[in-house]
């Protein structure tokens, strides 16, 4: 039976906390280089996983992967490269359901935009004045990392 908004629903207490955001990459070394050198994250050493539990955990038969955890700017990002089976690279449109992005609040937006382009990233949008919402009055744009991961950049005043 499904509860309606008018019904009282007893929820069993539980603890939930945010762990990390993860992305699949075709080239873990290139992802680490971009996200550390251009965006200032710190990377743990690259690890490898292929134990039997992994197949059922991630739902990919025969899964063998390399992974790395990056930290910085109050965030924890994981990149996974499948050694096998390798999936087909996709580049979801920014408005495609299921597409995700990372938002970074930055200073010197125009300079960072150029650094991202110089490092193999791409434009998704153009620098624009934000005229509504929580970032009203700021400037920002969407870009992509070298593998197509969407990155939202919002410029904040320098302190």
CA distance 93 to 101: 11
Count of domains forming the chain = 2
Residue 145's CB is within 10 A of a number of other CB atoms, namely: 22
Residues 154, 119 share a domain? yes
Q: What does each C-alpha distance from 92 to 37, 99, 150 come to in angstroms?
A: 25, 6, 9
Q: What is the CATH number for 83?
A: 3.10.180.10
Given pLDDT bands bounded at 50, 70 and 90, which one contains residue 153? very high
CA distance 39 to 123: 16
Residues 74, 30 share a domain? yes
Prediction pTM value: 0.88
CA distance 25 to 29: 9
Residues 108, 76 share a domain? no
Q: What is the pLDDT of residues 64-117, one digit of tens each?
A: 999 999 999 999 999 999 999 999 999 999 999 999 999 999 999 999 999 999
Residues 75, 35 share a domain? yes
- Structural domain for 48, as ranges: 20-87
């Amino acid at each position: 039976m499904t509860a309606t908004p008018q019904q009282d629903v007893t929820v069993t207490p539980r603890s939930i906390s945010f762990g990390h955001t993860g992305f699949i990459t075709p080239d873990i070394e290139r992802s680490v280089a971009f996200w550390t050198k251009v965006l200032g994250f710190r990377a743990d050493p690259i690890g490898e996983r292929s134990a039997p539990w992994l197949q059922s955990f991630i739902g990919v038969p025969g899964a063998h992967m390399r992974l790395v955890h990056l930290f910085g700017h109050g965030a924890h990002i994981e990149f996974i490269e499948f050694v096998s089976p390798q999936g087909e690279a996709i580049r979801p449109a920014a408005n495609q359901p299921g597409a995700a992005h990372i938002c970074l609040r930055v200073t010197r937006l125009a300079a960072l935009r150029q650094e991202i382009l110089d490092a193999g990233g791409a434009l998704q949008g153009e620098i624009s004045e934000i005229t509504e919402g929580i970032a009203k009055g700021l400037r920002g744009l969407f870009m992509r990392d070298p593998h197509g991961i969407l990155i939202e950049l919002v410029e904040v005043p320098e302190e």
